[in-house]
Amino acid sequence: MDYFYCPPEKIREHDLVIEGEEFSHLVHVMRKKEGDEIIVVDGRGSAYDVGLETVTRRSARCVIKRVFRGYHEPSASVTMAAGILKNPSKFDFLVEKLTELGVMEIIPLRTERTIPSHARTDRWQKLALSAMKQCGRSYLPAVRDLTTLDSLIGDATRGGRKFIAHERLEAGISLTELRSTPGESTLILVGPEGGFSDEEFSRSLHAGFKPVFLGDRRLRTETATIVLASLLLC
């Protein structure tokens, strides 16, 4: 079954309307026509089994047959915050894979060792949308604007468990102790190439973050982030 996206404001009790780029993909790329059945996701955790009722030049009206809440979504809420990387394509890859794994929020981090000139939030959000449809989940992760480490760790509104990835065994818990339980909210910080500075690490601990030991081998940022997300969500 093919998956398509429709924003919540275009969804009513019994029908929904697909427009814009998604309509073009639906009709001109996937060649869908009146009478076909598709799955539509709203990016908020719901999926809709619909039939194409009317296709015009610019939009498609679909009749809703069934609604699925929490469709293909994990029971835990995970936010991954990672230092942006020198190679832009690596963060593209990271956004795509974190979306597939079920992460709810992705925060590009500006740290002492990052090069922030290529932060591309709009592109990353589009990649997340594409990955959401490709993997068949129903929640669209929010890709935040480039955020400084200090502003993130100082955000008092963020509750739940908080961790920071680190390479020293004596610094904190092991990966096997990290696994989440249903309903838990977790935020994890992963540094850029070169990791967090000692001062950044110290400030994070002071803000209540617990260090997570990543093992004896030094992992790249994208590898570490995917490993941590997998342990929490798979």
How do the domains of the chain map onto residue ranges? 3-69, 77-233
Indicate the length of the chain as a whole number. 234
Lowest mean pLDDT among 36-45, 78-87, 112-121, 220-229: 112-121
Tell me if the pTM is above 0.85: yes
Asked whether this chain's domains 3-69 and 77-233 adopt the same fold, the reply is: no
The predicted-structure confidence for 137-174, as pLDDT tens digits, reads as follows 999 999 999 999 999 999 978 889 999 998 775 667 87
Q: What is the pLDDT of residue 203?
A: 96
Assigned architecture for domain 3-69? Beta Barrel (2.40)
Average pLDDT over residues 107-111: 95
The predicted-structure confidence for 193-216, as pLDDT tens digits, reads as follows 889 999 999 999 999 999 998 878
Q: With 80 as the cut, is the pLDDT of residue 75 above it?
A: yes
Pairing of strands 37-41, 185-190: unpaired
What is 77-233's CATH topology? Alpha/beta knot (3.40.1280)
C-alpha–C-alpha distance, residues 108 and 98, integer Å: 12
C-alpha–C-alpha distance, residues 91 and 88, integer Å: 6
The predicted-structure confidence for 174-196, as pLDDT tens digits, reads as follows 777 787 667 789 999 999 988 99
Rounded to a whole number of angstroms, the distance between the first and last alpha carbons of the chain is: 23
Percent of the chain with pLDDT over 70: 97
